[in-house]
Amino acid sequence: MNQRKRDKKKFVRQNLRIKNVGIDVLDSFVEHDIVEDKRSQKKLLEKSEVSQKSETKLRRGRVIEVLSNNRCRVEVGGQVLECAIGGRLKQINYETRSIITAGDYVHVDITNLGSTSMVQVEEILPRSNVLSRFSEGSFQTEVVLAANIDQVIITASICEPDINFNLIDRYLCRAALAGLIPIICINKMDLADDAFIADELTFYEDHGFQSILVSAETGRGMDALKSALIGKDSLFSGSSGTGKSTLINRLEPGINLRTGEVSDYNFKGMHTTTSTKLIPWSFGGHLVDSPGIKTFGLHRSAKDFIPRIFPGFDSYYIGCKFHNCTHIHEDGCAVKAAVMHDDIPQDRYESYLNIMASL
């Protein structure tokens, strides 16, 4: 490749910064016995002609990592199998959402298990959500990073670096748009008094957001954090230096985790080919490890949704005179009225204005 091409490529990659999160696919997850039946019926019909092929055994599994275009690792009944991706699923498809991704629930054909041929992924089951990042520019190309993830642990530190509630609001909006349950986790509580953040936390808790105060240093709150993680697939998000790696290592000593440095490297605009990984916790559930997801951004269209999903606004916006009220300049705005009456703190409203202005 000549220098100019290389530069161009580099330029494109650097522009592919994380700009947002896909809005969740709303259909809820269905256990697919029906699909299984139909498929095996079809196979049986085919089999009557091609009789050497033994009966198809489809099992439900979970993709924990995509290794290449035709290989992935799938958890099937407690076992991790390296599987081939079925031809039908490999087809070049411009709709990126149909490409297999970490976190996908799949049906694998285990007929070949134990033989020299590979176990094959036959089918992707419906997703409850999709996490993606988007490139910048007028066509925000979607890159799917993971599917069916439960929650995001929004990690902040009370100081070093100082807590930034505007950033927490941004993460809360992103979580809502991505269909993830957010948990606010405030670390380094050994360094300052709880009273320092009591008002803000009361506001979030009053509006249905869970918060957990922890210290990786003293162990405070670590049991509560662990309980929140059990059986769920969790993504840790938050600024660098807030203690994500320290917390994860404390929860699971010896965890085989890519270091934060890789993610931070990526955040600076460098390209990394490492894919999303679901790492099983010994206590159940998975840690979602993805350099791409860490700073998951917002799609341009998010601006239409933020007025409704901004933390605490949900109970007010329905009272606004205009259904598409942005709560900025409109008359008859119930959100602005709530700010006037101190039902929504001035700080939160300013944080909202800041996010809207940035989009």
Under the rule (CB under 6 A), what is the footprint of ligand GDP?
187-188, 190-191, 215-217, 240-246, 260
Instruction: Indicate which of ligand GDP, Zn ion, Mg ion, none lies near residue 246 (CB less than 5 to 8 Å, by partner kind).
Output: ligand GDP
- Of 237, 327, 349, 351, the residue at the interface with Zn ion (CB under 5 A) is 327
Instruction: Indicate which of Zn ion, Mg ion, ligand GDP, none lies near residue 187 (CB less than 5 to 8 Å, by partner kind).
Output: ligand GDP
Burial of 204 (0-12, 13-18, 19+ CB in 10 A): buried
Instruction: Indicate which of ligand GDP, Mg ion, Zn ion, none lies near residue 215 (CB less than 5 to 8 Å, by partner kind).
Output: ligand GDP
* DSSP bridge partners of 153: 183, 236
Q: In this chain, which stretch among 92-100, 119-127, 294-302, 333-341 interacts with Zn ion, using CB under 5 A?
A: 333-341
Q: Which C-beta is closer to Zn ion: that of 29 or that of 322? A: 322
Q: Which C-beta is closer to ligand GDP: that of 270 or that of 328? A: 270
- Look-up of token digits 């799609």: 299
- Of 119, 178, 180, 335, the residue at the interface with Zn ion (CB under 5 A) is 335
Q: How far is the CB of 311 from Zn ion (least distance, A)?
A: 15
**Identity of the amino acid at 46:** E
Residues in the chain: 359
Phi, psi of 142 (to 5 degrees): -90, 130
- Is there binding between residue 325 and Zn ion (CB under 5 A)? yes
What SS3 state is found at 170?
helix
CA–CA distance, 8 with 167 (Å, rounded to integer): 33
Q: Are strands 79-85 and 71-76 parallel, antiparallel or unpaired?
A: antiparallel
Residues 239-298 that bind Mg ion (CB under 5 A): 244-245, 260
Phi, psi of 116 (to 5 degrees): -80, -25
The residues of the shown chain that bind Mg ion, judged by CB under 5 A, are 244-245, 260
